[in-house]
Structure 1
Amino acid sequence: MPGGHDQTLRPFLWRAETLYEDTEIVSRTHEGIERYTYDEYGDRTAQLAHALTEGGIEEGDRVATFCWNHHRHFETYFAVPTIGAQLHTINPLLPDEHIRFIVQNAEDRTIFVDHSLFPKLAGAIADADDEFDQVDRVVAMGETVPEGADDLPVDIVAYEDFVEGHPTEYDWPDIDEDQSAGMCYTSGTTGMPKGVEYTHKMLWSHTMASLTPQGIPMADDDVVMPVVPMFHVNAWGMPFTATAGGSKHVYPGPSPEPEDIANLIENEGVTITAGVPTVWMGLQDYMQDNDVDLSTLDTVIVGGSAAPESMIRWFDDHDVTLLHAWGMTEMSPLGSVSHLKSDLENADYETQIDRRSKQGLTVPGVEFKVVDDSGEEVPHDGDAFGELWIRGPWVTKEYFERPEANEEDFEDGWLKTGDIVTVDTDGYLQIVDRAKDVIKSGGEWISSVELENAIMAHDDVAEATVIGVPHEKWQERPVAFVVPGENADESTLDEEVMDLLREDYPKWWLPDDIVYIEEVPKTATGKFSKKDLREEYAGQSLIEETEVPEDAAPDDD
């Protein structure tokens, strides 16, 4: 390669420990708050690299983590790929069957596990046949091994014993930029999860794009707290971006509650944080009864699913910018961010809210097109619907060992995302629905996402999701599942919600029924699980009337 230096992760580590050796890394663990500097982080990362290589890990081997967000997990982020191995983060919220499948499919050699997650991993191993046969060891993330470790049919060692005594310098090898650095599996909502591999060049490119003003830039005066799990697409790449930028890291540890998140923001001066909308709903609820100082917080990144418009306004009222981002496991994951274009900086507030509530503008390096059912590209008019196809240097071109999925989801270098979108005249993407979730009623499409966001704008609605249920005349009709707020009056809430929807949507969009539930089921990544609701209510008659009134038909405006 001209210039003699490949695009790998190693320069990010070098820059942080060389230029920002005194910048802190703070971590909430089961042992309490831990803090150290980039200089010490570099030492410990080198020790871990020695421990792995002396433990038999070679170039191309996969090392798995079964962990929450903390400093030891962060040490694997650079130690594993920078020796030429591949970091495979496992979502511990997946079913045991899926965990066994992906460990065997990835051929993991070593597994790092948190104490709080050890029973989950041990349970998956106990019911295994030969899925864990290639695993050489399990490393418990702490100073001790958890109770019950002796019953595990594989060697287990405490993390601190594993790294202790090893040199604090490492002669990092020259790694080819096309060497696999990471691996993450999709959550497998249909069938078994699909593996996505990330090369060094993909993660390098993703990091550099994130650092641009059109991405999610992080600088040496930022304090970055990823609440999005590190097992979910590398915490949206934030540990790499924050390291490259020389930012202070704050990791919220195992199963953080709203109080933990609030305390870390206050005590550590967090400026940038990120998570799915349910995380920030929890913080909003907590702040109703507790004083929380958000004065240092500049930006909250929301992804995974759309944030209700009311949430954007709530953070604005607290002088915090909520920034929509969109991406996928297949994209490392960043695809678009809802920054305002310069010509919208002086637009009225409602216009700005409209753009900010969308998934935003694609980041530099990513190309997209929107394709309808006939294979034709649709215009960028804010009305035409189609499936989003995307490509770029950090977008995968294939799944790991899944030829049937590769044939279905990729075409001529494009990833078919499965997201149904519109693009407005300013170029802002808006996810209308997942292809499998869009409601088709009378030959027309209804966006379940739009209805959900509108319903959650009601002050007495805590959570809401909308699914399509079969209808004998209209093919499908929308039904809303609502979690009432603590002080909600269900006797009047139905009509209040419907009145709210009537303000913006035609009659044929309105849900035919509202079902009150205690909690919307969640996927392993914290998104609303419509699949679970469909299965739970399959065959039940949710809609009392089998005929939608004629004035509510899809052809009526």
Structure 2
Amino acid sequence: MGGTDPTLRPFLWRAAKMYPDTEIVSRTGRGIERYDYAEFEDRTGKLANALDSAGVASGDRVATFCWNHHRHFETYFGVPNSGAQLHTINPLLPDHHIEYIVENADDRLIFVDPSLVEKLEGPADSEAFEAVEQFVVMGEEVPDTSLEPITDYESFVGDESTEYDWPDLSADTKAGMCYTSGTTGKPKGVEYTQQMLWSHTMATLTPQGLEFDESDVIMPVVPMFHVNAWGMPYSATAAGAKHVYPGPAPEPADLATLIEEEGVTFTAGVPTVWLGLLEYLDENDADLSSLETIVIGGSAAPEAVIRRFDEEYDVDVLHAWGMTETAPIGSVSHLKAGMEDWDADARYEKRGKQGLIVPGLEFKVVEDDGNEVPWNGEDFGELYIRGPWVTQSYFERPEANEEEFEDGWLKTGDVVTVDTDGYIKIVDRAKDVIKSGGEWISSLELENALMAHDDVSEATVIGVPHERWQERPVAFVVPVEGADEEALREEILADIEAEYPRWWTPDELVFIDEVPKTATGKFDKKVLREEYSDESLVEGRVPEEAAPDEE
């Protein structure tokens, strides 16, 4: 057989040689920092040499505890291309999860942001960090800290050569590692080989993926610790595009400024980020004329958000779906040829789905009895998926492997329908579907309906125990500032009753200040379920004639 193994190294080589002057821009605590691909290649070489000097060997795991910035980006190529494995740690996880992750991964070295040093000190003061030999602060100085031994990044790489003899790596060399958020138990480690990341990158570059090219200016708002920022740092590099990194805890004003001043064309993040930006734009002027596309993933994109960005700012919202286990892009909701001519409601309905499977993957939808469901947009079942960048096992978790994989298929836990055009629509997570009187209610659809109201900032729906119906839906709503809550309650419930069966209407609507969120920015229904597990808010709003049949 001819050719070489698929690895990440050629993406860096091509960007530095073909687009040496293209910028990498980073918002940091010191302001905006910028350099180009030529300098990036040099600094990546210095980093690889520094890792060798620190005793990091092929196969060792190197962790990051960082936000989105240029130094973090350097580890994306410097670590895996040297033969080590990059392990990105979510700093928003609770301390006991961080301890478990570091111990489970057996990390040798940890890069940590200055603003996160204090956060890391707690878990680092445990036996779980026994294998860690070095901490490196992502900056030019070391703050007062109990972490040791420790140095700053610029000193760590400072005296090293920019030339590095990159090894010839095999396709199955472990390149990356990310842990699931662990909202239902211990986090599960997912490893990515060189071939998995290469394959994912190539798929996202296609028109059916994210379709980057060298004219793009790409700003990943999705954290770099969360499944490699959805692979965007690799895809943007492969395309030769300009990178813009928004740094720690960017506010809507920061994002608007970066879009305007850096000419951002493409960005991505969870729905709450873009709801916040829309609220900011309601009160402030900002020039978004360069922005062409926003990818929304992590949870469902409300149709109202898709409509507003399209109609008010001429920005396409691409709805995408994926998982840590799929590295992560699995589907993207592009319109097929001819659908652009459909009326607006039909287009938005299609774009609100999780979309079409990207080239290279296969899926099926399976009922509880193991049979596949028809593609009719109505019947639903659990989504199974497989492909070259879909993991086949969890790291050192044989019990989870038995539960979540079957004959080469990943059982996603997402309950979906597929329409006659092949568009996947997530009805709910298997654990979030509400079973009332023997029938299913989609909490996800109710949430989208709630957030379509102009006076609703955030909303989530959970199933609350009910003596007769087993579960009933209860809605938790964050109103916009100044909203009339009583009037809003009546309008929301009337809108849902007009659109859905009477028994779908939430039995109670609770106004709250903020929806609890997981460490990756998703709505954390577990918190609300635990709060209301021993009591019911429901009062039997469903009349006998409107109720679903009981089992």
Taking structure 2 as the reference length, the TM-score comes to: 0.99
Kept in 2: contact 1:269–1:297 (CA 8 A)? yes
Deviations along 1:389-410, one digit per CA (max 9) or x if unpaired, are: 0000000000000000000000
Aligned ranges for residues 170-189 of structure 1 at < 5 Å?
A: 170-189=164-183
* Selected match of 1:289 from 276, 283, 294: 283
Q: Who is 2:202 aligned against? A: 208
Q: How many residues align?
A: 549
Letter in 2 for 1:43: D
Q: Who is 1:136 aligned against? A: 133
In 2, Cα distance between the equivalents of 1:532 and 1:3? 54
1:387 Cα deviation after fit: 0.3
Find out whether 1:490 has 2:485 as its counterpart.
yes
Q: What SS does the aligned partner of 2:517 have?
A: coil
Q: What SS does the aligned partner of 1:345 have?
A: helix
In 1, Cα distance between the equivalents of 2:71 and 2:440? 47
Kept in 1: contact 2:465–2:536 (CA 8 A)? no
Q: Who is 1:147 aligned against? A: 144
1:555 Cα deviation after fit: 4.2
Q: Who is 2:25 aligned against? A: 26
Give the unaligned 5+ runs of structure 1: none
Deviations along 1:392-430, one digit per CA (max 9) or x if unpaired, are: 000000000000000000000000000000001111000
Aligned ranges for residues 459-538 of structure 1 at < 5 Å?
A: 459-538=454-533
Q: Who is 2:442 aligned against? A: 447
Letter in 1 for 2:179: Y
Letter in 2 for 1:19: M
Kept in 1: contact 2:465–2:535 (CA 8 A)? no
Letter in 1 for 2:358: V
* Selected match of 2:258 from 264, 273, 284: 264
Deviations along 1:485-516, one digit per CA (max 9) or x if unpaired, are: 11211111111001111221000111010011
1:104 Cα deviation after fit: 0.4
In 2, Cα distance between the equivalents of 1:267 and 1:468? 45
1:535 Cα deviation after fit: 1.0
1:4 Cα deviation after fit: 3.5
In 1, Cα distance between the equivalents of 2:150 and 2:181? 27
Q: Who is 2:412 aligned against? A: 417
Q: What SS does the aligned partner of 2:338 have?
A: helix
In 2, Cα distance between the equivalents of 1:224 and 1:543? 46
* Selected match of 1:195 from 189, 198, 206: 189
Letter in 1 for 2:98: I
1:141 Cα deviation after fit: 0.2
Kept in 2: contact 1:28–1:70 (CA 8 A)? yes
Q: What SS does the aligned partner of 2:384 have?
A: strand
Kept in 1: contact 2:464–2:536 (CA 8 A)? no
Q: Who is 2:387 aligned against? A: 392
Q: Who is 2:50 aligned against? A: 51
Q: What SS does the aligned partner of 2:341 have?
A: coil
Deviations along 1:220-244, one digit per CA (max 9) or x if unpaired, are: 0000000000000000000000000
Tell me whether 529-538 or 405-414 shows the greater mean CA deviation: 529-538
Tell me whether 503-512 or 91-100 shows the greater mean CA deviation: 503-512
Q: Who is 1:7 aligned against? A: 6
1:5 Cα deviation after fit: 0.8
Q: What SS does the aligned partner of 2:92 have?
A: coil
Letter in 2 for 1:137: Q
Q: Who is 1:343 aligned against? A: 338
Deviations along 1:199-228, one digit per CA (max 9) or x if unpaired, are: 000000000000000000111000000000
In 1, Cα distance between the equivalents of 2:272 and 2:545? 36
In 2, Cα distance between the equivalents of 1:4 and 1:497? 60
* Selected match of 1:540 from 535, 542, 551: 535
Deviations along 1:239-288, one digit per CA (max 9) or x if unpaired, are: 00000000000000001011110100000000000000000011011111
In 1, Cα distance between the equivalents of 2:386 and 2:527? 31
Deviations along 1:430-489, one digit per CA (max 9) or x if unpaired, are: 011000000011111100000000011011111100000111111111000011111211
Q: What SS does the aligned partner of 2:32 have?
A: strand
Aligned ranges for residues 74-473 of structure 1 at < 5 Å?
A: 74-126=73-125, 128=126, 130-148=127-145, 151-152=146-147, 154-317=148-311, 318-473=313-468
Q: What SS does the aligned partner of 2:93 have?
A: coil
Q: What SS does the aligned partner of 1:401 have?
A: coil
In 2, Cα distance between the equivalents of 1:116 and 1:3? 48
Letter in 2 for 1:134: A
1:346 Cα deviation after fit: 1.4
Q: What SS does the aligned partner of 1:479 have?
A: strand
Q: What SS does the aligned partner of 2:187 have?
A: coil
Kept in 2: contact 1:507–1:551 (CA 8 A)? no
- Runs of 4+ residues over 3 Å off in structure 1: none
Letter in 2 for 1:276: V
Kept in 1: contact 2:465–2:533 (CA 8 A)? no
Give the unaligned 5+ runs of structure 2: none
Q: Who is 1:553 aligned against? A: 547
Q: What SS does the aligned partner of 1:388 have?
A: strand
In 2, Cα distance between the equivalents of 1:98 and 1:249? 31
Kept in 1: contact 2:355–2:423 (CA 8 A)? yes
Q: What SS does the aligned partner of 1:379 have?
A: coil
Deviations along 1:102-134, one digit per CA (max 9) or x if unpaired, are: 0000000000000111111012112x1x11111
Percent identity between the aligned chains? 69
Kept in 2: contact 1:422–1:432 (CA 8 A)? yes
In 2, Cα distance between the equivalents of 1:177 and 1:346? 43
Kept in 2: contact 1:439–1:446 (CA 8 A)? yes
Q: Pairwise CA RMSD of aligned residues?
A: 0.9
Letter in 2 for 1:246: G
Tell me whether 501-510 or 382-391 shows the greater mean CA deviation: 501-510
Q: What SS does the aligned partner of 1:375 have?
A: coil
Tell me whether 402-411 or 348-357 shows the greater mean CA deviation: 348-357
In 1, Cα distance between the equivalents of 2:200 and 2:475? 37
Letter in 2 for 1:233: V
